[in-house]
Amino acid sequence: MTEAWERLWAPHRIEYIRAGAAPHEDDCPFCRLPGGDDESGHIVYRGATSFVVLNLYPYNTGHVLICPYRHVADYTEATDEEVLEIAHLTQTCMRVIRQVSGAHGFNIGLNQGSLAGAGIAGHLHQHVVPRWSGDANFMPVIGSTKVMPQLLSETRRLLAEAWPDA
């Protein structure tokens, strides 16, 4: 008898589970990142209230996160200025990623709370995931492997260089 549900193995996610869903500000990677340099932190752009950073565990090459500097968990707690900048940065991310990689589409979203899938539920972050026709090819299905054709450092460099007014 076959099972109706397939299993998705994502062993890299255990890091988030062990760390807990809502890190304190002192332990929050999104609070620590802006204190370092852009290259080692994979920061693509720093705005007035928010910044753009590559996801360390991307679903696709160019998967970025837009995070407010302020340690706030819920979208309803974001200020009008943060909401506006996150929206503008989302548009700019889409334009830059299209320019650099020719993305055909995007998944954009906020996972609010650990039960909704937020890996780091204590700090608001919006995902911008580029998509291409055929990006869910045979490798994940047959080979149980996700192909990431570019190093994070190279992706960050390309996006940062293409950023308007960079």
Q: What is the extent of the structural domain holding 155?
A: 20-162
Give domain status of residue 8, yes or no. Answer: no
In this prediction the pTM is 0.77
Give domain status of residue 14, yes or no. Answer: no
Give domain status of residue 95, yes or no. Answer: yes
Catalytic annotation on 125? Answer: yes
Q: Which of 42, 123, 125, 127 is catalytic?
A: 125
Q: What angle do CA 115, 119, 120 make, to 5 degrees?
A: 105
CATH number at residue 35: 3.30.428.10
Give domain status of residue 69, yes or no. Answer: yes
Q: What is the pLDDT along the chain (166 residues), one digit of tens a residue?
A: 455 555 555 665 555 555 554 455 568 999 999 999 999 999 999 999 999 999 988 888 899 999 999 999 999 999 999 999 999 999 999 999 999 999 999 999 999 888 888 888 899 999 999 998 877 654 454 455 555 667 788 889 989 999 998 5
Give domain status of residue 11, yes or no. Answer: no
Residue 135's CB: how many other CB atoms inside 10 A?
Answer: 17
Give domain status of residue 13, yes or no. Answer: no
